[in-house]
Amino acid sequence: MLIFSGSLPATRLAVFDLDPVFVTTARAAIAGLIGSGLLLVFKEKLPGRGDVISLCLVTLGVVLGFPLLTALALKHITSAHSVVFIGLLPVSTAIFGVIRGGERPPLVFWIFSCLGSAFVASFALSKGIEVSPVGDLLMLAAIVVCGLGYAEGAKLSRRLGGWQVISWALLLALPFMLVLAFITRPASLDGVRLSAWLGLGYVSLFSMLIGFVFWYRGLAQGGIAGVGQLQLLQPFFGLGLAALLLGEEVTWLMLVMTLGVVLCVAGTKRFSKRKSHAHAGANPVFKHG
């Protein structure tokens, strides 16, 4: 969650000087090359036929969909504005945890989850954020596909392992991403500042690969719905980074809202223990960590 907190501020730094499509494809291509190397070094077996569709959904959700949609959205809105929608990501993840992961959290879980999302959205709206139809629709779509990618990847991680899932998903998209990154590369590097390259480097190495090593393992071991609620804290860490890196204002209200969100996260964790038989019977074995 902490690694992902830096994704939106880093993406915004990158799209100041680089095309959003290039940022999306380049980050996936760089991470894909590293992930492919890991699969080769550890001599991982090919996924089964039944895993291909799940890997395609992971690729669609977290390799292509969320990075591209957020990069396009951040051309129209600030990273602080995006907090409104990031607050909905835990609910989206939990919903797909039910649909794809077979989990069945009780009603009180959903109450705490929605309350936490309301805290995040209220905080963001209190900053006087203006409606941006294009940016808002792009962020909403990003949240939907990301929730699907998180839940699908967590379910698959129970069989393949966390870093293996994201590495296979990246490898699946690698040929297309390499071609698109080459086509959309900057015509000239003269106007690209160091901050943009650093932003691209962060989202390539950390947001696109390393973060998922921990995230998918955590979701698979602790439950998609329950662990996914930690994302409620992500916007506040993201806003802190936005203030540090982008000079965006963060007020004392952030601390009050953070406390409310922490209580909601504790509530969702407390009442997310009831899982479906399918989840309880899963074997969370992870190869090579």
Can you read off the two tokens belonging to residue 252?
């004392």
State percent of the chain over pLDDT 90. 52
Domain with 49 in it? 2-183+195-280
For residue 190, tell me if it sits in a domain. Answer: no
CB within 8 A of 165, min separation 6: which ones?
A: 55, 58, 153, 156, 157, 212, 216
Q: What is the structure's pLDDT at 198?
A: 95
For the chain, what is the domain count?
1
Q: What is the structure's pLDDT at 213?
A: 92
Q: For 288, phi and psi rounded to 5 degrees?
A: 55, 30
Residue with tokens 């629709």: 137
Q: Residue 272: pLDDT band by 50, 70, 90 thresholds?
A: confident
88: left (phi over 0), alpha (psi -120 to 50) or beta: alpha
For residue 96, tell me if it sits in a domain. Answer: yes
Q: For 21, phi and psi rounded to 5 degrees?
A: -65, -40
For residue 258, tell me if it sits in a domain. Answer: yes
Q: How much is the pTM?
A: 0.84
Q: What is the structure's pLDDT at 281?
A: 44
Q: What is the structure's pLDDT at 273?
A: 59
- Per-position DSSP letters for 3-59, written without gaps between them: HHHTHHHHHHHHHTTS-HHHHHHHHHHHHHHHHHHHHHHTTPPPPPHHHHHHHHHHI
199, 14 Cβ separation under 8 angstroms? yes
Q: What's the mean per-residue pLDDT of the chain?
A: 85
How confident is the model over 104-150, as pLDDT tens digits? Answer: 899 999 999 999 888 877 776 766 667 788 988 999 999 999 999 99
Q: What is the structure's pLDDT at 145?
A: 96
How confident is the model over 185-238, as pLDDT tens digits? Answer: 999 999 899 999 999 999 999 999 999 999 999 998 888 988 889 888 887 776
pLDDT at 61 over 80: yes
Q: What is the structure's pLDDT at 129?
A: 65
State percent of the chain over pLDDT 70. 86
Most confident of 58-67, 97-106, 265-274: 58-67
| Residue 75 CB neighbour total at 10 angstroms | 14
For residue 289, tell me if it sits in a domain. Answer: no
pLDDT at 286 over 50: no
Burial (CB < 10 A; 0-12, 13-18, 19+), residue 201, is middle
For residue 286, tell me if it sits in a domain. Answer: no
Can you read off the two tokens belonging to residue 223?
């439950």
241, 86 Cβ separation under 8 angstroms? no
How confident is the model over 236-265, as pLDDT tens digits? Answer: 776 677 677 767 665 666 667 767 887 888
Q: What is the structure's pLDDT at 114?
A: 92
| Residue 165 CB neighbour total at 10 angstroms | 30
Q: What is the structure's pLDDT at 246?
A: 67
CA distance linking residue 23 with residue 19, whole number of Å: 6
For residue 57, tell me if it sits in a domain. Answer: yes
184 or 6: which leads in pLDDT: 184
For residue 188, tell me if it sits in a domain. Answer: no
For residue 266, tell me if it sits in a domain. Answer: yes
